[in-house]
Protein backbone atom coordinates (compact mmCIF):
# COMPACT_ATOMS: atom_id res chain seq x y z
CA UNK A 1 0.00 0.00 0.00
CA UNK A 2 2.82 2.40 0.84
CA UNK A 3 4.43 1.86 -2.61
CA UNK A 4 1.17 2.86 -4.31
CA UNK A 5 0.91 5.98 -2.17
CA UNK A 6 4.51 6.96 -2.96
CA UNK A 7 3.93 6.35 -6.67
CA UNK A 8 0.77 8.43 -6.57
CA UNK A 9 2.48 11.33 -4.80
CA UNK A 10 5.46 11.11 -7.16
CA UNK A 11 3.16 11.31 -10.18
CA UNK A 12 1.37 14.23 -8.55
CA UNK A 13 4.76 15.93 -8.09
CA UNK A 14 5.50 15.77 -11.81
CA UNK A 15 2.01 17.04 -12.63
CA UNK A 16 2.31 20.03 -10.30
CA UNK A 17 5.77 20.90 -11.68
CA UNK A 18 4.02 21.82 -14.93
CA UNK A 19 1.70 24.35 -13.29
CA UNK A 20 2.30 28.10 -13.69
CA UNK A 21 4.45 29.68 -10.98
CA UNK A 22 2.60 31.03 -7.98
CA UNK A 23 1.92 30.61 -4.28
CA UNK A 24 -0.54 27.74 -4.81
CA UNK A 25 2.06 25.76 -6.77
CA UNK A 26 4.71 26.43 -4.10
CA UNK A 27 2.42 25.30 -1.28
CA UNK A 28 1.38 22.17 -3.17
CA UNK A 29 4.98 21.24 -3.97
CA UNK A 30 5.97 21.66 -0.33
CA UNK A 31 3.08 19.45 0.75
CA UNK A 32 4.06 16.76 -1.76
CA UNK A 33 7.71 16.85 -0.67
CA UNK A 34 6.66 16.59 2.95
CA UNK A 35 4.42 13.61 2.22
CA UNK A 36 7.13 11.85 0.21
CA UNK A 37 9.69 12.46 2.96
CA UNK A 38 7.41 10.98 5.60
CA UNK A 39 6.47 7.99 3.42
CA UNK A 40 10.09 7.27 2.50
CA UNK A 41 11.29 7.64 6.10
CA UNK A 42 11.72 3.87 6.27
CA UNK A 43 14.91 3.12 4.30
CA UNK A 44 13.68 -0.33 3.21
CA UNK A 45 10.64 1.20 1.53
CA UNK A 46 12.64 3.87 -0.28
CA UNK A 47 15.30 1.38 -1.42
CA UNK A 48 12.78 -0.99 -3.00
CA UNK A 49 10.93 1.67 -4.98
CA UNK A 50 11.59 1.58 -8.75
CA UNK A 51 13.20 4.58 -10.44
CA UNK A 52 10.98 7.11 -12.19
CA UNK A 53 11.53 7.44 -15.95
CA UNK A 54 10.87 11.18 -15.81
CA UNK A 55 13.48 11.68 -13.10
CA UNK A 56 15.99 9.46 -14.90
CA UNK A 57 15.57 11.37 -18.16
CA UNK A 58 16.41 14.72 -16.58
CA UNK A 59 19.90 16.06 -16.93
CA UNK A 60 21.87 16.19 -13.74
CA UNK A 61 23.80 19.29 -14.71
CA UNK A 62 22.78 22.15 -16.86
CA UNK A 63 24.93 23.28 -19.76
CA UNK A 64 24.12 26.95 -20.01
CA UNK A 65 26.09 28.80 -22.66
CA UNK A 66 26.48 32.52 -22.18
CA UNK A 67 26.99 34.62 -25.24
CA UNK A 68 29.10 37.75 -25.05
CA UNK A 69 27.19 40.99 -24.67
CA UNK A 70 26.63 42.88 -27.90
CA UNK A 71 28.70 46.04 -27.96
CA UNK A 72 27.46 48.90 -30.08
CA UNK A 73 29.73 49.56 -33.03
CA UNK A 74 30.26 52.83 -34.80
CA UNK A 75 28.93 52.16 -38.29
CA UNK A 76 28.75 55.79 -39.34
CA UNK A 77 31.22 56.44 -42.16
What pLDDT does 22 receive? 93
* Residues 17 and 29 sit within 8 Å (Cβ to Cβ): yes
What pLDDT does 59 receive? 63
9 assigned to some structural domain: yes
* Residues 66 and 36 sit within 8 Å (Cβ to Cβ): no
Q: Which residue has the higher pLDDT, 21 or 6?
A: 21
| Number of other residues whose CB lies within 10 A of the CB of residue 10 | 19
pLDDT 10s digits, 17-72: 899 999 999 999 999 999 988 887 765 655 556 667 777 776 655 555 566 666 66
- Number of helical H runs and strand E runs in the chain: 4, 0
66 assigned to some structural domain: no
Structural domains counted in the chain: 1
74 assigned to some structural domain: no
Query: What's the predicted TM-score (pTM) here?
Result: 0.61
67 assigned to some structural domain: no
30 assigned to some structural domain: yes
What pLDDT does 44 receive? 61
63 assigned to some structural domain: no
- Between the CA of residue 63 and those of 37, 60, 67, what are the distances in Å? 29, 10, 13
What pLDDT does 5 receive? 85
Amino acid sequence: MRYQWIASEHHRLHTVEGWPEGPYKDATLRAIHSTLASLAHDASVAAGFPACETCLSRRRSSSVVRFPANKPTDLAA
